[in-house]
Amino acid sequence: MTMLIKDYSTDSKEVLDFCNSVLAECSADIKEWYSDPKRIQRYDYCSLMYDGQGNAFASSFVENINKWWRVGQIHYVLKEYRNKYPSAMLKVDGFLDYHWNKLEGNGIFFSIHTYSRRMRIQAQMMHDRLINTHRENLTPLRDRILALGEHQLRYVPQEIFVLSKVEFAKEDFLNAVL
């Protein structure tokens, strides 16, 4: 399946249009994130994933924190694409591969805010996907991802996953990003 990823400023028409698509179908807790321009615009940029017909169907907001790139933030895949394009973050040529190849610095990391039962299940599914492929075509980078467990990031509990480009020391990383 042909996919394309493009980067945009967080206040671009493309990102605003995607946010409106999310708002039209998402739950109340996700609506809180996508309806607040201040939350959206605090990120450095947004990457959108497109299908072969040029329709944006997934997002990965990105920010730099002390030479570590936090990727996959307020990540969302539109419902109608979830079966056709599973694992937009971990699939070969998905967001993780894209950010890894594009960004310079110490490495990339993503986190899952475990504020609800549903999000705790998402975090557990990510742990499972790092171990089992579920017969999906997942990036070989997944074998290098370090799961650091739950930490307070921006005053909320989040499961943190890291992919380092430098010699990795957990405490140095946590001191840099927390």
* CATH, residue 173: 3.40.630.30
User: Residue 162 above 90 pLDDT?
Assistant: yes
Determine the 3-state secondary structure of 12 from DSSP. coil
Query: Looking at residues 29-56, what average pLDDT do you find?
Result: 93
Query: Looking at residues 50-64, what average pLDDT do you find?
Result: 96
For the chain, what is the domain count? 1
Q: What is the pLDDT of residue 74?
A: 87
User: Residue 129 above 70 pLDDT?
Assistant: no
Tokens of 109: 């990391």
Q: How far apart are the C-alpha atoms of 169 and 174, rounded to whole Å?
A: 9
- Which has the minimum average pLDDT: 11-20, 75-84, 123-132? 123-132
For residue 60, list its beta bridge partners.
47
Range of the domain at 144: 4-177
Q: Could you tell me what percentage of the chain is helix, strand and coil, using 3-state DSSP and rounding each to the nearest 5? A: 35, 30, 35
Q: How far apart are the C-alpha atoms of 57 and 78, rounded to whole Å?
A: 5
User: Residue 13 above 80 pLDDT?
Assistant: yes
